[in-house]
């Protein structure tokens, strides 16, 4: 298993550390050809405008758009915005694989950034320390989205088939629970299915 | 729910990694910076090259300018206050700037004390020329360190010196035994618990960025290869011939800093960089890096 972490800008290093800690091989993705080796992709936090700019100038937007249709993908904060259907901002071009509308910096500026404890019973963790940095809010646009965690009634950890999104930063804490969920329940499952399909051919 | 903790402050600094923070003096410049892919802008009345040229006392920017830039862009907006001028910092916090730069580019307000940054909810970035200085600032609560370099010169030599010094001094600490660290902390004039932490981890507990004299994509890649995790560009962009093009190129260079072929493509036909100054032409008393301690 090899998981790529988009390394154009942002918190990619911390995702690499977290994934390696739970025994996963990783690769920093800066070029389209690197996607061919990857079984899954992580889109880190950072600035969604900067990432959009680089995705487009480096001709990475189309290859990643194609990749995330069929592979497990995990987006945090800006990464979650990039997975949404719409961010209502011409500076950001999302991939549209998560049925939500994203509202950037919806809590306010940095002084409104916060840490809170989430109950993530769905992934077997009842006290998860979640770091929200200039976080977006995601409004559900279909019933295909499964809410795995909420804060004050807002969905903050969401899943839709192969897509996992967090509006906070699991990579900034010491708890690998969410990364482990992504790897075990999503990436490993998709590999088993692919292997079975290949065995049946 | 906890706001303004050290983790939350460092969290924003983490998200700026691999990016370029650009000095801007107008709303139009801020938009150019955002369109070029800047991760944040520093709202200033004058860029360092002009502050250097004009002389006089350089102070915090007019809140009107800062508000205007905040309204124009969606990326974080930073602003500078004078070293030790905690009231300017209080004002910047009330304006909800995303990061405060306690900066040697402005005229220092207190020769003995830097701001006690732990009492603020807004994160601070501070300049450093060596590890001890970086650790003193972190001890006061800084959530990000940047090299001082020599702002407004378009000359990378000081930023390189400061980055190399910080990295070498960290390496040195990792080679010492626990019995030597107290003496080292005394010699450095740095908080013992931070000296101890660096000896264990070999890296700063906050992101380590580079600033001061970056004028080309190659300069950006140079400091990134030396260990900077992101860069500030002050005069280098808006004192060049084609700011939009240069801004984009420096953004690309911060991502592809390890790819010389790509850097060559990026550097192609950028027009003239800012003219720049030889450090030997700047008398010791006019150097900004010597401000603060």
pLDDT value at position B132?
Answer: 98
Domain that holds residue A18: 2-199
Q: Between A49, A108, A112, which is nearest B75 by CB?
A: A49
Q: What is the DSSP string of B2-48?
A: EES-HHHHHHHHHHTTT-EEEEESSHHHHHHHHHTT-SEEEE-SS-H
A24 vs chain B: nearest CA distance in angstroms?
22
Question: What CATH number is attached to the domain comprising A70?
Answer: 3.40.50.880
Nearest by Cα to B239 from B212, B267, B275, B281:
B275
Which one is catalytic: A15, A71, A169, A179?
A169
Stretches where chain A sits below pLDDT 70 are 201
Nearest by Cα to A54 from A15, A82, A89:
A82
Q: Across the interface, do A50 and B251 touch by the CB < 8 Å criterion?
A: yes
Radius of gyration in angstroms for the set of CA atoms belonging to chain B, rounded to a whole number: 18
Which one is catalytic: B9, B17, B80, B121?
B80
Residue B172 to residues B129, B138, B175, B222, B256: CA-CA distances in angstroms? 16, 19, 5, 22, 29
Q: What is the pLDDT of residues B34-60, one digit of tens each?
A: 999 999 999 998 988 898 888 889 999
Note whether A59 and A32 are within 8 A (CB). Answer: yes
A184 is catalytic: no
Chain B residues near residue A104 by CB distance under 8 angstroms: 74
If one counts the domains in chain A, the total is: 1
**Residue A166: strand pairing partners:** A76, A157
Q: What is the pLDDT of residues A166-195, one digit of tens each?
A: 999 999 999 999 999 999 999 998 898 888
Alpha carbon B52 to chain centroid, angstroms: 17
A171 is catalytic: yes
pLDDT value at position A201?
Answer: 63
Q: What is the pLDDT of residues B220-273, one digit of tens each?
A: 999 999 999 999 998 899 989 999 999 999 999 999 999 999 999 999 999 888
CA closest to B38 among chain A residues:
A50
In angstroms, rounded to a whole number, what is the distance separating the alpha carbons of residues B197 and B177?
13
pTM of the model as a whole: 0.96
In angstroms, rounded to a whole number, what is the distance separating the alpha carbons of residues A72 and A77?
17
Q: Across the interface, do A91 and B74 touch by the CB < 8 Å criterion?
A: yes
B96 vs chain A: nearest CA distance in angstroms?
6
Q: Across the interface, do B18 and A78 touch by the CB < 8 Å criterion?
A: no
For chains A and B, what is the number of CB pairs under 8 angstroms? 122
**Residue A137: strand pairing partners:** A103
Chain A residues interacting with chain B (CB cutoff of 8 angstroms): 7-14, 30, 45-47, 49-50, 53-54, 57-58, 77-78, 89, 91, 104-105, 108-116, 131, 133-134, 169, 172
């Amino acid at each position: 298993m090899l998981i790529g972490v988009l390394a154009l800008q942002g918190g990619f290093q911390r995702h690499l550390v977290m994934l390696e800690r739970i025994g996963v091989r990783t690769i920093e993705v800066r070029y389209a050809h690197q996607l061919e080796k990857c079984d899954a992709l992580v889109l880190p936090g950072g600035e969604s405008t900067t990432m959009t700019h680089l995705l487009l100038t480096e001709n990475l937007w189309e290859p990643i758009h194609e990749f995330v249709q069929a592979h497990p993908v995990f987006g945090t904060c800006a990464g979650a915005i990039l997975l949404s259907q719409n961010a209502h901002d011409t500076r950001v071009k999302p991939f549209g694989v998560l049925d939500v509308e994203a509202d950037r910096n919806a809590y306010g500026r940095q002084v409104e950034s916060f840490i809170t404890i989430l109950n993530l019973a769905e992934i077997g963790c009842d006290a998860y320390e979640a770091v929200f940095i200039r976080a977006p809010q995601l409004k559900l646009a279909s019933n295909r989205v499964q809410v795995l965690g909420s804060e004050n009634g807002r969905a903050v950890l969401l899943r839709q088939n192969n897509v996992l999104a967090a509006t906070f930063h699991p990579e900034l804490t010491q708890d690998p629970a969410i990364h482990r969920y992504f790897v075990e329940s999503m990436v490993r499952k998709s590999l088993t299915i692919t292997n079975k399909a290949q065995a049946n051919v | 729910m906890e706001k303004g903790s050290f983790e939350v402050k460092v969290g924003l600094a983490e998200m700026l990694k691999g990016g370029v923070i650009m000095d801007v003096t107008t709303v139009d410049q801020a938009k150019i910076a955002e369109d070029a892919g800047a991760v944040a802008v520093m709202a200033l009345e004058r860029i360092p090259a002009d502050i250097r040229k004009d002389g006089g006392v350089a102070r915090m920017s007019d809140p009107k300018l800062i508000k205007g830039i905040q309204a124009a862009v969606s990326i974080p907006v930073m602003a500078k206050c004078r070293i030790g001028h905690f009231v300017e910092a209080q004002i910047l916090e009330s304006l909800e700037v995303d990061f405060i730069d306690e900066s040697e580019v402005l005229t220092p307000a207190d020769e003995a004390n830097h701001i006690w940054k732990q009492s603020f909810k807004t994160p601070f970035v501070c300049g450093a020329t060596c590890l001890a200085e970086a650790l003193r600032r972190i001890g006061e609560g800084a959530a990000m360190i940047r090299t001082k370099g020599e702002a407004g010169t378009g000359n990378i030599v000081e930023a390189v010196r400061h980055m190399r010094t910080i990295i070498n001094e960290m390496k040195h600490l990792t080679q010492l035994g626990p019995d030597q660290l107290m003496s080292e902390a005394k010699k450095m004039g740095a908080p013992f618990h931070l000296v101890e932490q660096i000896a264990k981890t070999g890296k700063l507990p906050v992101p380590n960025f580079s600033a001061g004299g970056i004028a080309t994509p190659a300069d950006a890649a140079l400091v990134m290869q030396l260990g900077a995790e992101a860069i500030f560009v002050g005069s280098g962009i808006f004192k060049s011939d084609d700011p939009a093009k240069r801004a984009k190129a420096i953004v690309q260079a911060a991502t592809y800093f390890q790819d010389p072929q790509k850097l060559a493509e990026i550097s192609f036909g950028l027009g003239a960089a800012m003219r720049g100054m030889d450090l030997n032409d700047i008398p010791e008393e006019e150097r900004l890096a010597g401000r603060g301690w």
